[in-house]
Each structure stands twice: as structure tokens, then as C-alpha cells.
Amino acid sequence: MRIRAFAAWPIALLTLLACGSDGTEPIGEDPFAGEYQWMYSQGGIAGLRYSPESAGYAVRLEFDGRGEVSAFRGDTRVARATYVAEKVTAPDGTISWLIRYAPPLMVFPFGAFDEQSVRIVGKLVLEFTDPCCDRYVHLFQKPYVR
């Protein structure tokens, strides 16, 4: 009996190591739940930088904590989408999330959120990075945090 139990440990260990071996795992509690205000966006083929001051409008994202996000320009909701987030742990231990939106979230006139890598980079500051082409980086911060 002890020999069989001992032989099962290597199998159990290999099974645990195989889970999430690609570095991604579904998130449990939603770390994005809440409201975030746009700080700035930078990127594009010309390396442009947009902010609420230069664009002439404020942008707010509201994540409901249940897989839905809304985008507002001023007080007007301009888009709503569902999203799925996967936690990604890099080999160096850095944590980020891969977020996919359906349909693409039309946040800005210069770009939609379709799929992005998201990191927490400061005091409740989210950095959204586009994966391809224009490669904009968008920074959003929780209100009243400085």
C-alpha cells in the first residue's frame, strides 16, 4: 500500500507542473473592477501622444467586476463590451493580464480596444498595451489617487 502511494507522488507532481505551463491562468476575482480615468495614450506609427487636454475630452473606463466594461467620453457612454482576462506570469515573475474584448471596445476615435496586455504600473495605474500595428500604450488611473 505504501509503495503505491509513494509511486503516485511523482504523477501528482507532474500533473500540477503541467497545469498553467504556458504561463497563463484564468483570473479569479477581477483585479480591474472599478472606475479608471484616462491619463494619456502614446504610440501609433508617428509616436503621437494624446491626453484629455490635447484631445479635448475625458475618457473613463468602468469595469463591473463581472466581465463587462463600459467606455465613457465625458458623461456619455460610447461603448460597452464583455471581456475575458487571463493572468500571465513571465519567467522573471512579472505579472500582467491578457484582456480580450467582444466586440472591440471603441474607447478612442484613434483606436479600439480589441486585445491588450495590461499591467499595474503605479498607484492603481493600469497600462494597456496594444499587441500589434499601432502599438499604443494607454494609461488609466483610479480617480482621486495621486
Tell me the backbone φ, ψ of residue 74, rounded to 5 degrees: 65, -130
Q: Are strands 48-50 and 59-63 parallel, antiparallel or unpaired?
A: unpaired
pLDDT digits (tens, 9 = 90+) for 58-109: 999 999 989 999 999 999 999 999 999 999 999 999 999 999 999 999 999 8
pLDDT digits (tens, 9 = 90+) for 25-47: 444 467 888 999 999 999 988 88
- Reported as half-sphere exposure (CB side, CA atoms, 13 A), residue 119 has a value of 10
Q: Indicate the Cα dihedral angle 15, 16, 19, 22, nearest 10°.
A: -110
Of 108 and 111, the one with more pLDDT: 108
Question: Are 42 and 68 within 8 A, CB to CB?
Answer: no
pTM, two decimal places: 0.75
- In the numeric block, the cell 507522488 is attached to 9
- Please report the pLDDT score of residue 145 as a whole number: 58
Q: How far apart are CA 62 and CA 36, in angstroms?
A: 6
Q: Does residue 22 surpass a pLDDT of 50?
A: no
Mean pLDDT in the chain? 81
CA nearest to 36, candidates 125, 136, 137, 102: 125
Of 13 and 123, the one with more pLDDT: 123
Tell me the backbone φ, ψ of residue 70, rounded to 5 degrees: -120, 145
Nine cell digits for residue 111:
483606436
DSSP SS3 for 29: coil
